[in-house]
Amino acid sequence: MEKEEKRYRIRPKRYLCLSPEEAVSTGISTGEQIIEEIKLVRDPGFGYMMYASIRELPESEVMKISVEERDEFLFESRKEAMRFIKEKGTDKLHLYGVVETRMVDRREISYDEEPVHGVMDELKKFSNRGG
């Protein structure tokens, strides 16, 4: 059985997150932006719709690294992904292929996490100043 992973992103951003909540907390997103769940398979062959660089660490360790520093990204081509992985170090990153993507309904996302509340409070302050 191939090792399968899930990651999330706010489309069109390339970087990958461990949960939809983490994706939302990485930056302000408009209601029109789509949150995607991405199913990935390790050691893909050719012909996948996209490829990804994924850290070779347990999820608990990956969480300790900021999203921007993880180097977990989506790529349009296998060649582009392999070039990136070689530049960063094949001991840290591994090639995965995108098996499936699906839209995450925003009602499925828990907004109870503190970073999201902080962003929402800042947005409220901003909208009050404009009036």
Average the pLDDT over 30-56 and give the result. 87
Are the C-beta atoms of 51 and 44 separated by less than 8 Å?
yes
| Residue 55, pLDDT score | 92
Residue 123 has pLDDT above 70, yes or no: no
Interval 65-75: pLDDT, tens? 999 899 999 99
Could you tell me the two tokens for 29? 């997103």
Would strands 34-42 and 93-103 be described as parallel, antiparallel, or unpaired? Answer: antiparallel
Q: pLDDT over 70 for what percent of the chain?
A: 77
pTM of the predicted model, to two decimals?
A: 0.76
Using CA atoms, how far apart are residues 91 and 107, in angstroms rounded to an integer? Answer: 38
Using CA atoms, how far apart are residues 123 and 16, in angstroms rounded to an integer? Answer: 24
Q: Is 52 exposed, middle or buried (0-12, 13-18, 19+ CB in 10 A)?
A: buried
Q: How far is CA 60 from CA 21, 38, 55, 56, 64, in A?
A: 16, 19, 12, 12, 7
Domain that holds residue 26: 4-129
Q: The tokens 């790529």 sit on which residue?
A: 75
Number of domains in the chain: 1
Interval 99-108: pLDDT, tens? 999 988 777 7
Ranges of beta strands (E only) in 1-131 are 4-11, 34-42, 51-55, 74-75, 93-103
